[in-house]
Structure 1
Amino acid sequence: MYQLQRNHVLGGPVNLDISCPQCQSIDLAQSVPAAMSEGTHSGYSTGVHTGIGIAPGGLIPLVGASTHEFNQRSALARSLAWQPILPSAGRLSALGTILLVFVIIMFAVCSAAMLEKPLPSNPIRMMASLLGFYLLPILLSIPVVAVLTVAFRRARRNGKVDAGRNRARGVWSHGYYCHRCGVAYWPYPTEPGIPYRVALAPSQFRWHVWNTGGYAKL
């Protein structure tokens, strides 16, 4: 039996109809935040690793332990999420910056080497020499551009989600889920454009939440 939620409106506490619009019952109706919380589990796992190291006296056995944090969500919790999973752009940005510095150094080294050896006067041979000098840094710049592009897109996407997440979460927090019918719904009006007293599939409910935040089409 799931705990029923009581709500109030401005002007005094009143009981609202939180029954499922499909089966008209409340015994298996649960607030979306509560359903989300039940389907989310976090914890830590510890692993032991062994190996062989080299010391002045020869090979020695090595034993180490590592701890990892994990966060698991059920299919229902994922379908009712109020925001998408946001992969961090920080590591990619750092990697792209390091690679960019390396490519710039390569260009500088190649330019210095080119200055020590005069270029041929023949245009074709001159182009071949330039290509020979800068071929390696040019090839290395391709993955750098790719990494920085992905990092930029992630950062822009994350920024849009961050800008609308509070509004989306406000709408999301007023939703309910019926475990009997497998539908989500809003029992009362929340914002313009948000249907209420309408049974929605979890994916449809999530779309309305994300659309409120402005990131449904990202």
Structure 2
Amino acid sequence: MNLDLSCPQCERIDMVQSVPAAMSEGTHSGYSTGVHSGVGIGPGGLVPAIGVSTHEFSHSSALARSLAWRPALATGGRHTLLGLVLSFFFVCAFALGCVATSIDPPDGDPIQILVSLIGLFVFPIVLAIPLFAIVAGAIKRARRAAKIAAGSTRARSVWQNAFYCHRCGTAFWPQPTFPEVPHRTALTPNQFRWHVWNAGGYAKL
């Protein structure tokens, strides 16, 4: 079977490249090393300190990002750390309220009872609101990541069979690959990405 790889728009093949190759050319990664200096405290007083750190970096061009077969996955490391810090304050506030109530229990005065209840329950609950928001955000990100992971294999199989014309700035599939994915049709990078992500089931995320 003869596969027609010519661009559907300009009908030429000299600047047509597979989408995986075009994306690979626009993605660069590597390592950078930095030297840091400072002052530390030792047994004899202040001493100079020098350290070396290695940082891994990755850079993608606008074209590579527009042809991506899945959206970038947000990491939740910082949110998890913030949640742990807030939970620590929540536990401390609740513990302080319990200690204060046990030291000075209300003697039946409605005002003292109200103040004790506020200190014991309301104040910790108010502190816990940001914690609940962070947990809800983490759950949402986890569900999003799970949905992307579930459809990424299907999306990648569609993505890797496409081609990109550098002259026209359009992507296309030379032959049918997946239902509802057009073939022999010139698509803008945004249209192309939508069809790939739709095949994976996460176009509307």
Both structures adopt the same fold (TM-score exceeding 0.5): yes
Output the CA distance in 2 between the equivalents of 1:209 and 1:81.
Answer: 9
Output the CA distance in 2 between the equivalents of 1:67 and 1:38.
Answer: 24
Using the aligned pairs only, state the percent identity: 59
Q: How many residues are aligned here?
A: 205
Q: Is the 8 A contact 2:34 2:54 kept in 1?
A: yes
The answer for the alignment partner of 1:53 in structure 2 is 40
| Cα deviations by residue, 1:10-52 (Å, 9 ceiling, x for unpaired) | xxxx320011000000110001001011101010011111111
For structure 1, the residue ranges without an aligned partner over 5 or more in a row are 1-13
SS at the partner of 1:85? coil
Deviation, structure 1 residue 120: 4.5
Output the CA distance in 1 between the equivalents of 2:144 and 2:195.
Answer: 18
Q: Is the 8 A contact 2:19 2:163 kept in 1?
A: yes
Output the CA distance in 2 between the equivalents of 1:177 and 1:98.
Answer: 48
RMSD: 1.9
Q: Is the 8 A contact 2:94 2:124 kept in 1?
A: yes
The answer for the alignment partner of 1:31 in structure 2 is 18
Q: Is the 8 A contact 1:89 1:152 kept in 2?
A: no
SS at the partner of 1:158? helix
Output the CA distance in 2 between the equivalents of 1:89 and 1:66.
Answer: 23
Output the CA distance in 1 between the equivalents of 2:102 and 2:119.
Answer: 14
Q: What is the aligned counterpart of 1:180 among 153, 156, 167?
A: 167
Output the CA distance in 2 between the equivalents of 1:141 and 1:15.
Answer: 64
Q: What is the aligned counterpart of 2:7 among 20, 39, 43?
A: 20
SS at the partner of 1:88? coil
The answer for the alignment partner of 1:104 in structure 2 is 91
Deviation, structure 1 residue 104: 2.9
What one-letter code is carried by the residue in structure 2 that aligns with 1:192? Answer: P
| Cα deviations by residue, 1:76-105 (Å, 9 ceiling, x for unpaired) | 000000000001235533542464355235
Q: Is the 8 A contact 2:33 2:52 kept in 1?
A: yes
Output the CA distance in 1 between the equivalents of 2:124 and 2:24.
Answer: 50
2:53 is aligned with 1:69: no
The answer for the alignment partner of 1:158 in structure 2 is 145
Deviation, structure 1 residue 155: 0.7
2:70 is aligned with 1:83: yes
Of 70-79 and 149-158, the range deviating more from structure 2: 149-158
Report the CA distance shift for 1:61/1:135 in structure 2 as closer, same or farther (over 3 A): farther
For structure 2, the residue ranges without an aligned partner over 5 or more in a row are none
Q: Is the 8 A contact 1:186 1:198 kept in 2?
A: yes
Q: Is the 8 A contact 2:22 2:64 kept in 1?
A: yes
Of 202-211 and 99-108, the range deviating more from structure 2: 99-108
Of 53-62 and 131-140, the range deviating more from structure 2: 131-140
Q: Is the 8 A contact 1:89 1:151 kept in 2?
A: yes
SS at the partner of 1:207? helix
Report the CA distance shift for 1:113/1:156 in structure 2 as closer, same or farther (over 3 A): same
Deviation, structure 1 residue 126: 1.9
Of 83-92 and 16-25, the range deviating more from structure 2: 83-92
